[in-house]
């Protein structure tokens, strides 16, 4: 049996009202015709980009077959199936890097919540829920803060890194991690661009391979990732962030 533990500490900086969480899609998952492809930062004509584009065409067609293209308030879940010989918690298979290109193709404005999982399985699947259904809260966030500005600025990551350090004396023990992040944003903000820089700042929680590179955490150990959005136009350029984590223990 799997049981879950939770770190008891909570940090609250200047917080924002971000209260909604969403349930995972209830729709039956659809098997992907090909293996999931990670985000690529190579040039547009690079083979990796062409492979990613072809994969996203498949995803778009698969989703479009049972969700109207004009619909919004979607929830989406990607389950990445990996061979039994492949480690789930190492190797650079970051769940946010699987989810980001799908969000970009589907449209971030249409998505209220996005979920990703890694597991040993013969196939990978995707499920889409419409409309998004609210879920009960898992309790008080272990980390809660409000930040502002561009995610490209060092201050963005440093703010989150500092808040995380305030509640975590040492990183979680080795092994898999389940992470849930809720973003409170204005409707004008592309919330999918917040995912990676926020997770990159969680080194105090996830650990890092090189202490000289604090914004390169061991985020490939995340095997279950839940990302939620709450819209509050009063926030303007600010972002409210609530974070929960759990570590499965055999």
Compute the distance between CA of residue 38 and CA of residue 28 in angstroms, rounded to an integer: 23
Domain ends where: 70, 105, 129?
129
pLDDT of residue 162: 96
Widest distance between CA atoms in the chain: 49
The predicted structure's pLDDT at residue 137: 80
Mean pLDDT across the chain:
90
- Return the percentage of the chain with pLDDT > 90, whole number: 82
Going by the DSSP 8-state scheme, the letter that residue 201 receives in this structure is: T
Residue 69's pLDDT band (boundaries 50, 70, 90)? confident
The answer on pLDDT for 5 being more than 90 is no
For the segment 39-66, the average pLDDT, to the nearest whole number, is: 94
Q: Which helix (H) or strand (E) holds 180?
A: strand 177-185
| Residue 168 falls inside a structural domain | yes
In a domain, residue 220? The reply is yes
Residue 66 belongs to domain spanning: 30-129
pLDDT higher than threshold 50 for residue 109: yes
Q: Is residue 165 assigned to a domain?
A: yes
Bridge partners, residue 217, by sequence: 208
147 shares its domain with 108: no
Average pLDDT over residues 124-130: 96
* Least-confidence region, from 104-113, 115-124, 135-144, 213-222: 135-144
- For residue 160, which of 195, 112, 108 has the smallest C-alpha distance? 195
The pLDDT-based confidence of 113 (bands split at 50, 70, 90) is: very high
Instruction: Judge whether 24 lies within some domain.
Output: no
Asked if the structure places residue 14 within a domain, the reply is yes
pLDDT of residue 250: 47
Q: Which of 55, 61, 17 is nearest to 35 (CA)?
A: 55
Confidence band for 58, pLDDT divided at 50, 70 and 90? very high
- Picking from 129, 154, 188, the residue at the C-terminal end of a domain is 129
Q: Are residues 141 and 245 in the same domain?
A: yes
CATH number of the domain residue 125 falls in: 3.30.1330
Q: Residue 107: what pLDDT? A: 95
In terms of C-beta density within 10 A (0-12 exposed, 13-18 middle, 19 or more buried), how is residue 157 classed?
buried
Query: pLDDT per residue over 6-16, tens digit each?
Result: 333 333 344 44
Q: Which two tokens stand for residue 20?
A: 């909604």
CA distances to 4, 91, 143, 202, 205 from 245, rounded to whole Å, are: 10, 21, 9, 11, 9
**How far is 4 from 58, CA to CA, in rounded Å?**
35
Alpha-carbon Rg for the chain in angstroms: 17
Q: Kindly state whether residues 125 and 224 are assigned to the same domain.
A: no
In tens, the pLDDT along 168-195 reads 989 999 999 999 999 999 999 999 999 9
Say yes or no: 220 and 169 in one domain. yes
Count up the domains in the chain and report the number.
2
Same domain for 76 and 168? Answer: no
Q: Are residues 117 and 178 in the same domain?
A: no
Q: Are residues 86 and 112 in the same domain?
A: yes
In tens, the pLDDT along 237-248 reads 999 999 999 997
Whether omega for the bond prior to residue 67 falls within 30 degrees of 0, making it cis, is no
When pLDDT is averaged across residues 65-83 and rounded to a whole number, the result is 93
Residue found by looking up tokens 């209830």 in the block = 26
Residue 84: inside a domain: yes
Band (83; pLDDT cuts 50, 70, 90): very high
- Res. 228: pLDDT tops 70: yes
pLDDT at residue 20, as a whole number: 82
Cβ count within 10 A of residue 216: 12
Q: Token pair of 156, please?
A: 């963005």
Phi, psi torsion values for 52, nearest 5 degrees: -65, -40
For residues 92 and 20, what is the distance between their CA atoms, to the nearest angstrom?
30
Task: Report the C-alpha gap between 168 and 12 in whole angstroms.
Answer: 13
């Amino acid at each position: 049996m799997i049981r879950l533990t939770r770190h008891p500490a909570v940090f609250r900086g200047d917080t924002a009202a971000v209260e909604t969480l969403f349930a995972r899609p209830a729709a039956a998952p659809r098997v992907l015709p090909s293996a999931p492809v990670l985000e690529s930062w190579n040039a547009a004509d690079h083979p990796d980009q062409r492979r990613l584009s072809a994969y996203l065409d498949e995803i778009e067609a698969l989703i479009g077959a049972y969700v109207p293209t004009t619909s919004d308030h979607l929830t989406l879940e990607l389950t990445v199936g990996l061979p039994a010989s492949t480690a789930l918690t190492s190797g650079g298979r970051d769940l946010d890097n699987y989810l980001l290109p799908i969000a970009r193709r589907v449209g971030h404005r249409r998505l209220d919540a996005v979920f990703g999982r890694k597991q040993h399985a013969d196939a990978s699947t995707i499920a889409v829920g419409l409309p998004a259904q609210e879920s009960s809260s898992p309790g008080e966030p272990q980390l809660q803060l409000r930040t502002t500005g561009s995610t490209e600025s060092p201050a963005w990551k440093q703010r989150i890194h500092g808040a995380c350090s305030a509640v975590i004396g040492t990183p979680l023990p080795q092994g898999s991690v389940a992470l849930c992040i809720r973003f409170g944003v204005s409707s004008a903000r592309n919330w999918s661009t917040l995912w990676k820089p926020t997770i990159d700042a969680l080194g105090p929680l996830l650990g890092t391979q090189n202490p000289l590179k604090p914004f390169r955490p061991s985020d490939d150990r995340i095997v279950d990732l839940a990302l939620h959005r709450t819209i509050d136009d009063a926030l303007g350029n600010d972002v409210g962030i609530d974070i929960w984590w759990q570590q499965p223990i055999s």
